[in-house]
Amino acid sequence: MSSTCFIDNIPIFSALPADQRGQISEIIQTKKMTKGEVLFHEYDPAEAIFFINEGKVRISKSTPDGKEITLSIRQPGDMFAEVALFSKGGNTYPATAACIEGGFVSFIKNDELESFLLQHPQLAISMFRFVSERLRISQTTLRDVALYGKFGALAATLVRLSEEYGVVNNDGITIKLKLTHEDLGSFFGATRESVTRLMNQLKQQNIVTKKDGYLVIHNMDLLQNYIN
């Protein structure tokens, strides 16, 4: 995929005039990523903003007790590591980014993107709004882990995933990510066995089921009742 074609698929860049998209394409670099590859670790020097062309990337953070919490799963067209933008020299990434599906990732060095944004402040405002929303989601994830019991944290995770990746259909809301029980547990620090027990309860009440590998929420009101 060419840089110009890729930029057209990024909402934050696609509205730019053709000449500005051309300028952005000149500072974008692209690399192949393989499943399991770590693009950067938490506390590595924050040097670039990343965009997914193809594949999926898990953004995770370690808790003080050693658990790994999944903050988000980024898909084609998504941007990540944006919190490093306009940060002080020597700042580090606040989370780890690992490829869970091979593909291609593009990146722009912080100093080059910052120079572009200073020349085009309207884009900078859109970027900051995006960063603010991502920060809200990350804080919500950590809140779920800290404040809710396992059942409440699972319910909150499912609600959040439905907001980010949900598609409404006749069955309810399908979360368009194929997630194992271990994957779900990584969002709030629970074991696979724990998640399996909790999901069985939701399935028995016909609140959440799985179809074709995707989770389907049939009754959002009942699911939200478990968040307290």
Percent of the chain with pLDDT over 90: 42
The domain tally of the chain equals 2
The pLDDT-based confidence of 197 (bands split at 50, 70, 90) is very high
66 and 98 share a domain? Answer: yes
CA distance 59 to 115: 26
Segments forming the whole domain that contains residue 153: 149-225
Same domain, 55 and 44: yes
Q: Is the domain of 30 the same as that of 102?
A: yes
pLDDT tens column, 32-61: 999 999 999 999 999 899 999 899 999 998
pTM of the model: 0.76
Last residue of a domain, one of 100, 128, 146: 146
Are residues 88 and 108 both part of a single domain? yes
Residue 143 has pLDDT above 80, yes or no: no
Residues 124 and 206 in one domain: no
CA 56 to CA 76: how far, in whole Å?
7
Q: Is 35 left (phi over 0), alpha (psi -120 to 50) or beta?
A: beta
Mean pLDDT of 7-32: 81
Q: What is the mean pLDDT of the chain?
A: 85
- 166 and 78 share a domain? no
Same domain, yes or no, for 140 and 28? yes
Kindly give, in sequence order, each residue whose CB lies less than 8 Å from that of residue 205, ignoring residues fewer than 6 positions away.
219, 222
- Reported confidence tier of residue 65, pLDDT bands at 50, 70, 90: confident
Q: What is the largest CA-CA distance in the chain?
A: 56
3 state DSSP class of 105: strand
Residue at which a domain ends, from 146, 178, 211: 146
- Which of 111, 146, 181 is the last residue before a domain boundary? 146
The CATH number of residue 108's host domain is: 2.60.120.10
Whether residues 83 and 170 fall in one domain: no
* Shared-domain flag, residues 27 and 79: yes
Q: Is the pLDDT of residue 173 over 70?
A: yes
Helices 18-27 and 110-119: crossing angle, nearest 10°? 160
pLDDT in tens, 80-132: 988 777 777 778 898 999 999 999 999 999 889 888 888 887 777 777 777 77
Q: Are residues 42 and 140 in the same domain?
A: yes
Q: What is the CATH number of the domain that holds 215?
A: 1.10.10.10
Indicate whether 19 pLDDT > 90: no
Are 87 and 153 members of one domain? no
Give the C-alpha distances (Å, rounded to integers) separating 24 from 4, 7, 108, 138: 8, 8, 9, 28
pLDDT band for 5, please (50, 70, 90 cuts): low
Contacts of 99 (CB under 8 A, 6+ apart): 33, 34, 35, 36, 37, 38, 39, 55, 56, 57, 58, 105
- Backbone phi, psi, residue 21, to 5°: -65, -35
Burial 47-56, CB ≥16 within 10 A → b, else e: ebbbbbbbbb
Tell me, yes or no, whether 166 and 218 share the same domain. Answer: yes
